[in-house]
Structure 1
Amino acid sequence: MNLAEKYTKLIKTEAKRLGFLSCGISKAGFLEEEAPRLENWLQQNHHGQMRYMENHFDKRLNPTLLVDDAKSVISLLLNYYPSETPLYNKAEISYKISKYAYGQDYHFVIKEKLKELLYFIQTEIGEVAGRAFVDSAPVLDKAWAAKSGLGWIGKNSNLITQKVGSFYFIAELIVDLELEYDMSTTDHCGTCTACIDACPTEAIVAPYVVDGSKCISYFTIELKDNLPLEMKGKFDDWFFGCDVCQDICPWNRFSKPHNEPLLQPHEKLLSMTNKDWEEITQETFNAVFRNSAVKRTKFEGLKRNITFLKKD
């Protein structure tokens, strides 16, 4: 066994111990196939008011501009599929929140695990420089995960795997260490168009192309202005994020509940009725979403979204 093989085995074993669902590794370099796709997506204004997507174009495509002498991109998946969800019914509980936001903010949960993994690498292997990324820097997470064999990018633009579907977070360690590289996998969407057909706002404008500016997640989280009146009644009662294109995906029949205590929902979250949401106070918001990703939209943003769902 050569050193690259030995180090790769060590890293993947430790990633599993830390609770990651899977770990794949790619050679760091320019993402040639992604460059024209990203450019076209931006030109079509599919990012809406997410102006930050226009920044650092080169860095998004080339990790060696983020980490000096980068050799490898270590991609990691962390499962967030919950063991239980609210008992949705038309009468009292229909307002929905994306499953990824049930527990504590994933940025902090994963960052801690990545720090541990990097520390392990530096302790076991030696002087290795690297940076951890969790959806907060110009890194094309899904492209790197697909390149390292962790799944394929589906027609809903999410990373999908045959064994566990798509309910997981993606994160990376970019390091200046030569490792063994994984092969990408094949696309298994076939002729299925379930996600395209189910999207309430028709945001999946073509297979593999999502107009972010039409997505319910964009409206309820990213958009700071008033919600457009033409979207009234089209949110399918989602007030933070949206899981429609994942819930409908046949591969998510294979999702298994996570076992990460920090991602468990606040006890109140699963039993809140529409009335509870409509009457939510700043105090309840602070209690239920104390360390949650929902804090991103702030109390006023959440109230705006819930008010928008109310039937006139």
Structure 2
Amino acid sequence: MAERQEKLKRFLRDEARAIGFDACRIARAEDMPEAAAALKDFVADGYHGEMAWMDETLERRSSPLALWPEARSVIMLAMNYGPDENPRPLLGRPDRANISVYARNRDYHDVIKGKLKQMAGRFAARCGADVKVFVDTAPVMEKPLAEKAGIGWQGKHTNLVSREHGSWLFLGSIFTTEELEPDSAENDHCGSCRACLDVCPTDAFPAPYKLDARRCISYLTIEHHGVIPLEFRSAMGNRIYGCDDCLAACPWNKFAKTASEMKFAAREDLKAPELSTFLDFDDPAFRRFFAGSPVKRIGRNRFVRNCLIAAGNSDQPRLIAPCRRLLSDDSPAVRAMAVWALARLLSKEEFAALAKSCSRDTDENVRREWEREEEVLCI
């Protein structure tokens, strides 16, 4: 039995390396009471925001066995997507749009899932066991499982950290009915470091190892519908999709390989794109430009909403014209953020004249933006 398990594990490691994964380790498919309790507290505190699916799938997410009772082992795999340069300097270029590193090329769900299926098929053919593959979209607690398997540990920013690959990791899993000897869990190596917590522009961490997603720029730009709460708009800067600040601040990144080595190099037109280009996107243009990209999943309206906030933070007069055109957009969230952006790009006199010339919007959120800015003018 032990010899068979060792051969299968060696086969898995070799296959994983050949396919392009950086780490392959095994966890036992069993209850994870501490992770389940932490997830339950996260939802009970409302930290999940509008992500209702987290509450709806809470029980299935609490254990691998709740998802598939026949599973005996979980093969956890990780692929490094570390950038070839620090992404944070782009935050200082307000005329440019900042897209999270992981979204600057193909949708990683598609890439990873294809590789998982390939590897799972070969494993099943070799040992005769049943297999199922999961990558992010299924109710699987991938980060606690990866920690349990020894790939890394969940850092104070709640993301997985590896001594070999830093904070830049895509995760995927293969559940199997095959009994495999589990690997040792990884210890926490964060120590007294607070780099990831202190760098967060919106104070999204109420405590180490706890995230309030409602304050997280990644959540706000991707998951949140409607207008962005006023208190977070200035802090968003030019971040139009996701936020890499806590990941990029992690000192363990000095060990990470670069994306170019792992074939996740950024598209040239997404490394530092001009913000003005995106403000003119209608739905077809948005879909064409982001075909095959994870950005496409948030839809044109949320994307342009985010770009308008970046425009309002930019102090770029050449963005005034496209922002004005968006005052008549079909999306109320886009119109509302166009008002906010113009209030920052125009002088008080210019904005006052614009407010007089524009008819009152029928949408409550848009009207509120006009009224708020007009109140500011009167102070």
For the aligned pair, the TM-score class normalised by the smaller chain equals over 0.9
Aligned to 1:299: 300
Q: 1:112 aligns with which of 105, 111, 114?
A: 114
Does the Cα contact within 8 Å between 2:96 and 2:272 map onto a contact in 1? Answer: no
Q: CA RMSD in A?
A: 1.8
Aligned to 1:206: 207
In structure 2, how many angstroms separate the alpha carbons of the residues matched to 1:56 and 1:302?
A: 27
Deviation, structure 1 residue 271: 4.5
In structure 1, how many angstroms separate the alpha carbons of the residues matched to 2:91 and 2:46?
A: 36
Aligned to 1:96: 98
Aligned to 2:27: 26
Describe the SS at the equivalent of 1:5.
Answer: helix
Deviation, structure 1 residue 58: 2.3
In structure 1, how many angstroms separate the alpha carbons of the residues matched to 2:131 and 2:117?
A: 10
Q: TM-score, normalised by structure 1?
A: 0.94
Equivalent residue letter for 1:183: S
Equivalent residue letter for 1:196: L
In structure 2, how many angstroms separate the alpha carbons of the residues matched to 1:159 and 1:187?
A: 10
Does the Cα contact within 8 Å between 1:76 and 1:171 map onto a contact in 2? Answer: yes
Does the Cα contact within 8 Å between 1:24 and 1:150 map onto a contact in 2? Answer: yes
Aligned to 2:52: 51
Aligned to 2:64: 63
In structure 2, how many angstroms separate the alpha carbons of the residues matched to 1:306 and 1:199?
A: 20
Q: Which runs of 5+ in 2 are unaligned?
A: 313-343, 345-379
In structure 1, how many angstroms separate the alpha carbons of the residues matched to 2:283 and 2:250?
A: 35
Deviation, structure 1 residue 61: 1.8
- The size of the alignment, in residue pairs, is 310
Aligned to 2:273: 272
Describe the SS at the equivalent of 1:16.
Answer: helix
Describe the SS at the equivalent of 1:147.
Answer: helix
CA, structure 1 residues 277+116, in 2 after alignment: closer, same or farther (shift >3 Å)? same
In structure 2, how many angstroms separate the alpha carbons of the residues matched to 1:84 and 1:154?
A: 22
CA, structure 1 residues 93+23, in 2 after alignment: closer, same or farther (shift >3 Å)? farther
Describe the SS at the equivalent of 1:88.
Answer: helix
CA deviation map 1:106-127 (0-9, x unaligned): 111011101101110112222x
In structure 1, how many angstroms separate the alpha carbons of the residues matched to 2:202 and 2:180?
A: 43
Describe the SS at the equivalent of 1:205.
Answer: coil
Aligned to 1:233: 234
Larger radius of gyration: 2
Does the Cα contact within 8 Å between 2:97 and 2:273 map onto a contact in 1? Answer: no
Does the Cα contact within 8 Å between 2:91 and 2:237 map onto a contact in 1? Answer: no
Q: TM-score, normalised by structure 2?
A: 0.78
Does the Cα contact within 8 Å between 1:75 and 1:144 map onto a contact in 2? Answer: yes
Aligned to 1:245: 246
Describe the SS at the equivalent of 1:210.
Answer: coil
Aligned to 1:36: 37
In structure 1, how many angstroms separate the alpha carbons of the residues matched to 2:203 and 2:93?
A: 26
Describe the SS at the equivalent of 1:209.
Answer: coil
CA, structure 1 residues 93+249, in 2 after alignment: closer, same or farther (shift >3 Å)? farther
Does the Cα contact within 8 Å between 2:113 and 2:135 map onto a contact in 1? Answer: yes
Describe the SS at the equivalent of 1:190.
Answer: coil
Q: Which is helix-richer, 1 or 2?
A: 2
Aligned to 2:73: 72
Describe the SS at the equivalent of 2:236.
Answer: coil
Does the Cα contact within 8 Å between 1:152 and 1:161 map onto a contact in 2? Answer: yes
In structure 1, how many angstroms separate the alpha carbons of the residues matched to 2:132 and 2:97?
A: 38
Equivalent residue letter for 1:116: Q
In structure 2, how many angstroms separate the alpha carbons of the residues matched to 1:13 and 1:183?
A: 19
In structure 2, how many angstroms separate the alpha carbons of the residues matched to 1:89 and 1:65?
A: 42
In structure 2, how many angstroms separate the alpha carbons of the residues matched to 1:189 and 1:236?
A: 28
In structure 2, how many angstroms separate the alpha carbons of the residues matched to 1:217 and 1:22?
A: 26
CA deviation map 1:118-138 (0-9, x unaligned): 110112222x11211100111
Describe the SS at the equivalent of 2:206.
Answer: strand
Does the Cα contact within 8 Å between 2:99 and 2:270 map onto a contact in 1? Answer: no
Deviation, structure 1 residue 72: 0.3
In structure 1, how many angstroms separate the alpha carbons of the residues matched to 2:251 and 2:227?
A: 34
In structure 2, how many angstroms separate the alpha carbons of the residues matched to 1:38 and 1:184?
A: 19
CA deviation map 1:292-311 (0-9, x unaligned): 10011111111000101222
Does the Cα contact within 8 Å between 2:36 and 2:63 map onto a contact in 1? Answer: no
Equivalent residue letter for 1:44: D
TM alignment of 1:117-196, pairs within 5 A = 117-126=119-128, 128-196=129-197
CA, structure 1 residues 249+91, in 2 after alignment: closer, same or farther (shift >3 Å)? closer
Does the Cα contact within 8 Å between 1:200 and 1:236 map onto a contact in 2? Answer: no
Describe the SS at the equivalent of 1:285.
Answer: helix
CA deviation map 1:256-311 (0-9, x unaligned): 113344x3333322242232333445455334311010011111111000101222
Does the Cα contact within 8 Å between 2:86 and 2:248 map onto a contact in 1? Answer: no
Describe the SS at the equivalent of 1:268.
Answer: helix
